[in-house]
């Protein structure tokens, strides 16, 4: 996934746009929606594949110079704390609100203050959002143990650094995930 903004260091906006147009006409690129392109991929049984919602959101964030983070339900699913798959792909951003449709896929970006979206490391923010989704009363030792096994040692150390940014009720859980109370 990319946008014309990704290539502005190679030429003027006009020349980048014309080059992208030629590549789309030749079939080397696919124009998904205004300002979003990808290299077409196909599967022998499924046919043409669409990009993931996360790839679309990251391309939009790069273009806008914004930070993104999955909403709570999506974060819980990504980290394996919930088997529920959110119907809508919703991301929090410090950039503008957006709703982008690519085929049957809809990606929504909801604006939030920077302190809520981009103050912690990406993995820490993901863990905070996932725990918020699960809720204080439903955080079990099995879920915490799962996070402890899933996260890399660097990410677990980073959780301790980002601890002041998390709600107070999460602190004991985050310390255990990081291995402080092992």
Instruction: List, for residues 56-108, the tens digit of each pLDDT value.
Output: 999 999 998 888 989 999 999 989 898 888 888 999 998 889 999 988 889 99
pLDDT over threshold 80, residue 129:
yes
Coil/strand/helix, residue 24: helix
85, two tokens? 């798959």
- Please report the pLDDT score of residue 165 as a whole number: 86
- The confidence band for 118, taking pLDDT boundaries of 50, 70 and 90, is low
Structure-model confidence comparison of residues 115 and 44, the more confident one: 44
> Are the CB atoms for 136 and 112 separated by under 8 Å?
no
Query: How do residues 47-70 score in pLDDT, each as one tens digit?
Result: 889 999 999 999 999 998 888 989
pLDDT over threshold 80, residue 130:
yes
Sketch the domain layout of the chain as residue ranges.
120-182
Rounded distance between C-alpha atoms, residue 160 and residue 177, angstroms: 9
Structure-model confidence comparison of residues 149 and 117, the more confident one: 149
The contacts of residue 64 (CB under 8 Å, 6+ apart) are 93, 95, 96
- Please report the pLDDT score of residue 182 as a whole number: 46
Which run of H or E residues covers position 30?
strand 30-33
Rounded distance between C-alpha atoms, residue 119 and residue 172, angstroms: 20
How many angstroms separate the Cα of 20 from the Cα of each of 13, 23, 38? 11, 5, 10
Q: What is the mean pLDDT of residues 121-141?
A: 89
Rounded distance between C-alpha atoms, residue 70 and residue 77, angstroms: 10
Rounded distance between C-alpha atoms, residue 37 and residue 40, angstroms: 9
Which pairing describes strands 68-70 and 36-38: parallel, antiparallel, or unpaired? unpaired
Query: How do residues 4-42 score in pLDDT, each as one tens digit?
Result: 999 989 999 999 999 999 999 999 999 999 889 999 999
- Please report the pLDDT score of residue 181 as a whole number: 58
Q: What is the mean pLDDT of residues 120-130?
A: 87
- Please report the pLDDT score of residue 82 as a whole number: 87
């Amino acid at each position: 996934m990319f946008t014309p903004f990704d290539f502005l260091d190679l030429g003027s906006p006009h020349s980048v746009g014309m080059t992208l147009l030629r590549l789309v006409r030749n079939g080397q690129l696919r124009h998904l929606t205004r300002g979003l392109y990808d290299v077409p991929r196909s599967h022998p049984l499924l046919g043409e594949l669409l990009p993931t919602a996360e790839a679309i959101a990251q391309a939009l964030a790069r273009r806008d110079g914004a930070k993104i983070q999955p909403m709570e339900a999506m974060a819980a699913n990504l980290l394996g704390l919930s088997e529920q798959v959110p119907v809508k792909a919703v991301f929090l951003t410090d950039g503008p609100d957006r709703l982008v449709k690519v085929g049957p896929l809809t990606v929504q970006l909801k604006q939030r203050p920077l302190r809520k979206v981009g103050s912690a490391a990406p993995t820490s923010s993901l863990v905070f959002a996932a725990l918020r989704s699960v809720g204080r009363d439903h955080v079990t030792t099995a879920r915490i143990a799962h996070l402890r096994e899933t996260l890399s040692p660097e990410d677990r150390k980073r959780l301790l650094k980002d601890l002041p940014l998390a709600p107070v009720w999460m602190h004991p859980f985050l310390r255990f995930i990081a291995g402080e109370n092992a």
